[in-house]
Amino acid sequence: MKEEKKQKTNQKLKDLENNISSAHKETMTTNQGVKINDANNSLKAGERGATLLEDFILREKITHFDHERIPERIVHARGSGAHGYFELYESQKKYTKAGIFTDTTRKTPVFVRFSTVAGSKGSADMARDVRGFAVKFYTEEGVFDLVGNNMPIFFIQDAMKFPDLIHSVKPEPDREIPQAASAHDTFYDFVSQTTETLHNHIWVMSDRAIPRSLRMMEGFGIHTFRMINEEGKAHFVKFHWKPLLGVHSVTWDEAVKLHGADADFHRRDLWDAIEAGHYPEWELGIQVVPETDEHQFDFDLLDPTKLIPEEMVPVTRIGKMTLNRNPDNFFAETEQVAFHPGHIVPGLDFTNDPLLQGRLFSYTDTQLSRLGSPNFHEIPINRSISPVHNNQRDAQMRMTINKGKTAYFPNSLGGGCPYLAKMSEGGFTSYEERQDGKKIRARSESFSDHFSQPALFYRSLTDWEKEHVANAYSFELGKCTYDHIKERMLWLIHQIHEELAQKVADNLGMKVPSDIQKPINRAIGADDDTQKNQPGKRKEYLKESKALSQTHIKVESIVTRKIAAIVAEGFDSNEVEAMKKALEDQGAQLMILAPHGGEVTCHQNKKHKVDAALMTTESVLFDAIYIPGGKQSMQQLEKNDKAKKFINEALKHCKAIAVNGEGEKLLDSTYAKDFKDDETIIINKEPDLFIKAIAKHRNWKREKEVAHIPV
């Protein structure tokens, strides 16, 4: 067997060498056969200037990419949506003239779509992935789309690299596996040679990539935008969504099991919460930077792989979004909604962020491919609530019936209508930013720091969060089959944090390489003079940022939490009713689980509806476990392996457990018998203590002590 395995490995390496040898004979060209000198940078007006529309190489690459899938979205294919509204706390007229941010009397309708990035429409919700967080505001001045993610930065700095990023993370084309997963060779081959990805990548290796609920994750606009006030003065701005339920995640072990227990876990959770009247809420925060301070940081504000630490620029919460209505039809609304970062209103404008500039082109092209017509704005979910008048006509799926004989400007036959709006009437005018630079394919040297912010993120985590990051790297790299890719990644992780790299190396049974001979960062042109784009050494301009750790942004609430009450015939209904009332008063839900479905009889010989049979559900679907007393009930449950599994898994996943009366006997038949002093294992005490234990979300202090438990 060893010899056979060795032969297969040698053949695999030989095939790789043949592929590389063949590739070396091919020069990259456009589809018209024009040789390409730089496939990593778009054409700009100066290193930090705007991306130019004449860039035919970028347009061809992005256009081809945008049309690769029909009709499913190429990225963010699996999504969930909801309707709601946004209300402003305090006018921000000193920064912007946008009515949505100046008029506190408005109740602006919104539609939000959450999504995973890498998986297909039919993939599971709990993949380790970035989550899309896109908000469509139907304002009185037009549609404003804030198209972001649940992480404040992105993988790449220039839109030219987006097709490469997605091609690398999608299923490998020869096998079409793995689905909705980044743990494979092509992704890490790309990441290990494109060091700008490292910051977003370490976020994906953290628990942020496996949220407990879509209702319990932050959202970010990612890019630096501009706000423009009535005087025409501009400020840089970054957008944040802060969930009022706090930021919570599941463990990786739970995520894996949730794939099988309920592949629609996030989608169902969002729907059920809204149907039950527990409306998800987020506060909108902004970080504002005067234009005069643009170059006052150790990083570039136009670099989408960088965040502004909240210790440097605080987040001001200016309003609240509430989601209070589920879609009437998934396809008509959630699937057909068309977001675009170019959908802005007067008082907002763009910056020269090269990723944002590319998105401004790409999103229109994507909607044309997916929805088949430039009239996608007439689909009900995409319609502006403000009147639409222009000279655009016809095309597929035209809904508007235009009257009159003029469809051009200027005209006299139509009375000059539609006429142009003056600035005083709310007409949109672009910010007059000076553009002065040579046409060049390059990146500003200020974009070259690829290690400092990933290091800041890791330093800011608690010990248990750091352990999860190390385990995630180990799992992902353990799925790679080429040692040279793993070695490159270990060297890069070492540049972020030495201890982290050593933990991952130990788990992989490898050594951290002391040096890598070839350049790591492949995001450079073909010419040797682009070496300035090699990543710079790690800097420490801030020791840590508490806002980067989920530990410091929890909310002590159990609203919408699901608690499993495990019972059998003869259970003590008085204890259950008392616990049920206490939990429901706090907005939580107690569900009756029994060895069978239908009804279960309590100690008073009354029948109670069973919410789920133990055989049909799993502990990972619940936030805590409750075992009431009842001698007859315990005699049955002590023989039920699934009931014991519920307790053991809840223990392993650091969740709260409460027992009353004879329920302690069932506890004693599990691994929990050794953890009765745990602060989140509540034995024969008031429901209030159980409620406080659930509100902690998890008792991570327990994690290492229960790692050995087999479940």
> Distance between CA 148 and CA 316 in Å, rounded?
18
CA atoms within 13 A on the CB side of 281: 13
> Distance between CA 149 and CA 247 in Å, rounded?
14
The pLDDT of residue 529 is: 47
CB 166 within 8 A of CB 186: no
The pLDDT of residue 30 is: 79
The pLDDT of residue 521 is: 57
The pLDDT of residue 430 is: 87
pLDDT by residue (tens digit) across 578-596? Answer: 999 999 999 999 999 999 9
pLDDT by residue (tens digit) across 607-650? Answer: 999 999 999 999 999 999 999 999 999 999 999 999 999 999 99
Q: Is residue 519 over pLDDT 50? A: no
Selected catalytic residue, list 40, 41, 149, 382: 149
The token duo for 584 is 């429901």
Q: Is 366 helix (H, G, I), strand (E, B) or coil?
A: helix
The token duo for 149 is 């993610």
The pLDDT of residue 526 is: 52
Asked if 484 is an active-site residue, the reply is no
Average pLDDT over residues 239-250: 96
The token duo for 216 is 């319990």
The model's confidence at residue 406, banded by pLDDT at 50, 70 and 90, is: confident
The pLDDT of residue 478 is: 98
Q: Is residue 533 over pLDDT 80? A: no
Name the more confident of 411 and 492: 492
Length of the chain: 711
The model's confidence at residue 81, banded by pLDDT at 50, 70 and 90, is: very high
Q: Is residue 259 over pLDDT 80? A: yes
> Which secondary-structure segment (H or E) carries 44?
strand 43-45
Residue 76 in any domain: the answer is yes
CATH number at residue 356: 2.40.180.10
> Distance between CA 486 and CA 497 in Å, rounded?
16
The token duo for 79 is 């999504």
pLDDT by residue (tens digit) across 593-612? Answer: 999 999 999 999 999 999 99
- In the chain, the number of structural domains is 2
Residue 157 in any domain: the answer is yes
Question: End of a domain among 367, 382, 397?
Answer: 382
Long-range contacts of 389-392 (CB under 8 A, 24+ apart): 389/417, 389/418, 390/418, 391/418
| Mean pLDDT of all residues belonging to the chain | 92
CATH number at residue 696: 3.40.50.880
**CA neighbor of 215 nearest in space, from 78, 68, 112, 306:** 112
Residue 321 in any domain: the answer is yes
CA atoms within 13 A on the CB side of 235: 19
Q: What percent of the chain shows pLDDT beyond 90? A: 77
Q: Which amino acid, 282?
A: W
Q: Which amino acid, 526?
A: A
pLDDT by residue (tens digit) across 502-518? Answer: 999 999 999 999 876 55
Distances (CA, A) of 392 to 374, 407, 408: 10, 7, 9
Question: End of a domain among 345, 362, 382?
Answer: 382
Q: Are strands 589-594 and 624-627 parallel, antiparallel or unpaired?
A: unpaired
Distances (CA, A) of 597 to 190, 512, 621, 646: 50, 54, 17, 17
Q: Tally Cβ neighbours within 10 Å of residue 346.
A: 19
pLDDT by residue (tens digit) across 307-327? Answer: 999 999 999 999 999 999 999
pLDDT by residue (tens digit) across 326-377? Answer: 999 999 999 999 999 999 999 999 999 999 999 999 999 999 889 988 999 9
> Distance between CA 157 and CA 197 in Å, rounded?
8
Selected catalytic residue, list 76, 248, 653, 697: 76
Residue 37 in any domain: the answer is no
Question: End of a domain among 331, 366, 382?
Answer: 382
Average pLDDT over residues 129-156: 97
> Distance between CA 705 and CA 516 in Å, rounded?
38
**CA neighbor of 595 nearest in space, from 577, 575, 573, 570:** 570
Residue 322 in any domain: the answer is yes
Lowest mean pLDDT among 55-64, 193-202, 450-459: 55-64
CB 421 within 8 A of CB 427: yes
CA angle 631, 614, 214 (to 5 degrees): 125
Backbone angles phi, psi at 41, to 5 degrees: -130, 135
Residue 359 in any domain: the answer is yes
Residue ranges making up the domain that contains 671? 556-706
Lowest mean pLDDT among 21-35, 60-74, 86-100, 467-481: 21-35
Average pLDDT over residues 192-203: 97
Residue 494 in any domain: the answer is no
Distances (CA, A) of 2 to 8, 11, 224, 508, 706: 10, 14, 55, 20, 35
Give the pTM.
0.91
Residue 98 in any domain: the answer is yes
Asked if 76 is an active-site residue, the reply is yes
